[in-house]
Structure 1
Amino acid sequence: MTVRDRGLAVVVAVLWGANFIAIHVGLEHFPPIFLAALRMLVLAVPTVLLIPRPKVPLRWLIGYGLGFGALQFLFLFLGMYAGMPAGLASLVLQASGPFTLVLGALLLREQVRLRQWIGIGVAVAGLATIALLRAQTAALLPVALTLLGALGWAAGNLCNRLAQRDGEAVDPLHLTLWMSVIPPVPLLAVSAVVEGPTTGWVATAAAFSWDGLPGLAALLYLSVVATVLGAGIWTALMRRYPAGVVAPHSLLVPVVGMGLAIVLLGERPSVPELVAGLVVVGGVLAASAPGRRARADPQVSRV
């Protein structure tokens, strides 16, 4: 990679790491399920009006939207609302990588190499350590919810992969934008039942006041900066270089997320949690690192 493009990859990692700080701020102003719906709704409306729908099977587009856009953010936001620290959430969500490999092996009969299984085992050991540490302080539920969010992301990854395989000249960025059309309706329905039919809309109206500006800024960051700008740069890099060159930069996301959480939110993860986090990152790196064939193929998708 050129110095410029490597810098862009780092910028994306910073944008995505700061995403968790924005979620933390957003949850102070919006109900969690409604915020997940609103994040996608902000993208869905201009997408339907301005972006042609990718020519992919509808079932895979719906699966991508439900997994990546609905389940991931539903459980992630609920987990953080229940007390999951922003920095730790950015780390635990990396379980989506190993989850994707396992689901691909089980459901799509994709081959997983021994090194990848070892990486999965290492990552699971790190996550289990974090869960055990949290269980000792009665904070296991937020970890479990965040892991369910990672599982939803993994399911969305498989549908994304199948959509691009079965589609015609698929633009990955257009597919990502059209994914946002799927989640708003089911998430708004769940929000109406669980959080109340008017709670989220009252919070939205309050966001346009002086006190609500941080919540509004967080929403715009989640929708426009982290998703459109971040995904746009990442997609361009993935088109330009093999996945094995670009994808490892995503492991900077939890580093940025935890660092910003320490500086801006005053979070103080314990030493055992930090060590377990390093184990998780190492396992994810080993599990997601492509083999020789993948490194030579610029069309290989990021896990």
Structure 2
Amino acid sequence: MRLFLLTGLTMIAFAANSVLNRMALAGGSIDAVSFGLIRLVSGAVMLALLCFLLRGGLRLGGAGRLAGVASLLLYLYGFSTAYRGLDAGLGALILFGVVQITMFAGGLLKSEPMPPRRWIGAGVAFSGLAWLLWPGGGPSISLVHGLLMALAGVGWGIYSLAGQLSRDALQGTAANFILAAPLGVAIGLLLPTMEPTVLTGQGVILSIICGAVTSGMGYALWYSVLPSLASSVAAVAQLTVPIIATIGGMLLLSEELSLQFAIATVLVLGGVAISVLKPRKP
């Protein structure tokens, strides 16, 4: 039960990232690259402070560090730049679809057991997500931006797989953010030339909250539960994030509830239950 609750809390934090991102970018209070950069740096600062307070110092080494740093940067900036040319729903569908594929592939490479119920549950959950997010008009997709979002999905999938090697979730997450921050600044200085830089007080505050709280602390919590989750289970669990984010959008951004959303919720949560919950033996 404790693992279930911690995983659920982590998914809420991930969904909060999406809601905060939408609030900042949709209102035009900040540009995408600046949001990603401030998010990364504020997360690094918060995690460093927590390590000094709770661990007495920082430890930047550890298993999976290179993969964690590189995949974190790939996710953060792939995600930010992809949304310049993608509808939000379509982008989320690409992202979480690729995350699921990446983590399932990682599980297969590690020879994790894949019972039929896990494949069936994943298929049901993904069909619900597709039902919710796929636009009815058959939109034309920008190949460049679609590939950027797919790369972000690969990045987040690898980041989650690397987290299963971490023995200290707080130190591991802090090390990823701190080592990624200088590289992220260098990337951020190059990317703003592709669009105007926009900075307002509201945008900066939302970026800091997203980085320090829902990203930094949320990712540390994610690293703490990952060693107890099979890769395929972690992949399927993350399919709940768009559902939670949509609920947050309805509550905070006045988005409407639809029958399509209700059906998708049943499919996604039902698929997760089929995949994750083990049947009782008679």
- TM (normalized to structure 1)? 0.67
Task: State the one-letter code of the partner of 2:192.
Answer: E
**What SS does structure 1 have at the residue aligned with 2:111?**
coil
Match of 1:102 among 98, 101, 105: 105
Map 1:166-185; keep pairs closer than 5 Å. Answer: 170-185=167-182
> C-alpha distance in 2, partners of 1:219/1:36?
8
Q: Percent identity?
A: 21
Measured on the aligned residues, the alpha-carbon RMSD in Å equals 4.1
Q: Say whether 1:159 aligns with 2:147.
A: no
Q: Say whether 1:26 aligns with 2:24.
A: yes
Match of 2:115 among 113, 116, 136: 113
> C-alpha distance in 2, partners of 1:114/1:264?
39
Paired position in structure 2 for 1:301: none
Paired position in structure 2 for 1:38: 38
Q: Deviations over 1:263-303 (max 9, x none)?
A: 3334447644653454344434444x1658xxxxxxxxxxx
Q: Say whether 1:52 aligns with 2:58.
A: yes
Task: State the one-letter code of the partner of 1:184.
Answer: A
Paired position in structure 1 for 2:80: 77
Contact 1:97–1:284, Cα closer than 8 Å, also in 2: no
> C-alpha distance in 2, partners of 1:38/1:178?
17
Paired position in structure 2 for 1:261: 249
Task: State the one-letter code of the partner of 2:178.
Answer: V
Q: Specify every segment of 5 or more residues in structure 1 that has no aligned partner in the other structure, as ranges.
A: 165-169, 207-211, 293-303
Q: 1:100 offset after TM fit, Å?
A: 0.8
Q: 1:129 offset after TM fit, Å?
A: 4.8
> C-alpha distance in 2, partners of 1:133/1:277?
17
Contact 1:21–1:260, Cα closer than 8 Å, also in 2: yes
Contact 2:121–2:274, Cα closer than 8 Å, also in 1: yes
> C-alpha distance in 2, partners of 1:125/1:15?
23
Paired position in structure 1 for 2:207: 219
Q: Assess, with a 3 A threshold, how the Cα gap between structure 1 residues 24 and 179 changes in structure 2: closer, same or farther.
A: same
Map 1:153-302; keep pairs closer than 5 Å. Answer: 153-161=156-164, 163-164=165-166, 170-196=167-193, 200=197, 203=198, 206=199, 212-231=200-219, 238=225, 253-268=241-256, 271-272=259-260, 275-276=263-264, 278-287=266-275, 289=276
> C-alpha distance in 2, partners of 1:134/1:184?
40
Contact 2:128–2:264, Cα closer than 8 Å, also in 1: yes
Paired position in structure 2 for 1:149: 152
Contact 2:24–2:202, Cα closer than 8 Å, also in 1: yes
Aligned residues: 266
Q: Assess, with a 3 A threshold, how the Cα gap between structure 1 residues 276 and 144 changes in structure 2: closer, same or farther.
A: farther
> C-alpha distance in 1, partners of 2:151/2:66?
19
Q: 1:175 offset after TM fit, Å?
A: 0.6
Q: 1:30 offset after TM fit, Å?
A: 3.1
> C-alpha distance in 2, partners of 1:143/1:277?
25
> C-alpha distance in 1, partners of 2:147/2:131?
13
Q: Say whether 1:65 aligns with 2:78.
A: no
> C-alpha distance in 1, partners of 2:183/2:205?
24
> C-alpha distance in 2, partners of 1:195/1:61?
28
Q: Assess, with a 3 A threshold, how the Cα gap between structure 1 residues 120 and 252 changes in structure 2: closer, same or farther.
A: closer
Q: 1:102 offset after TM fit, Å?
A: 2.4
Paired position in structure 2 for 1:299: none
Q: 1:7 offset after TM fit, Å?
A: 7.5
Q: Assess, with a 3 A threshold, how the Cα gap between structure 1 residues 264 and 214 changes in structure 2: closer, same or farther.
A: same
Q: Specify every segment of 5 or more residues in structure 2 that has no aligned partner in the other structure, as ranges.
A: none
> C-alpha distance in 2, partners of 1:99/1:218?
30
- TM (normalized to structure 2)? 0.71
Contact 1:36–1:74, Cα closer than 8 Å, also in 2: yes
Q: Deviations over 1:149-169 (max 9, x none)?
A: 3332111122222x33xxxxx
**What SS does structure 2 have at the residue aligned with 1:56?**
coil
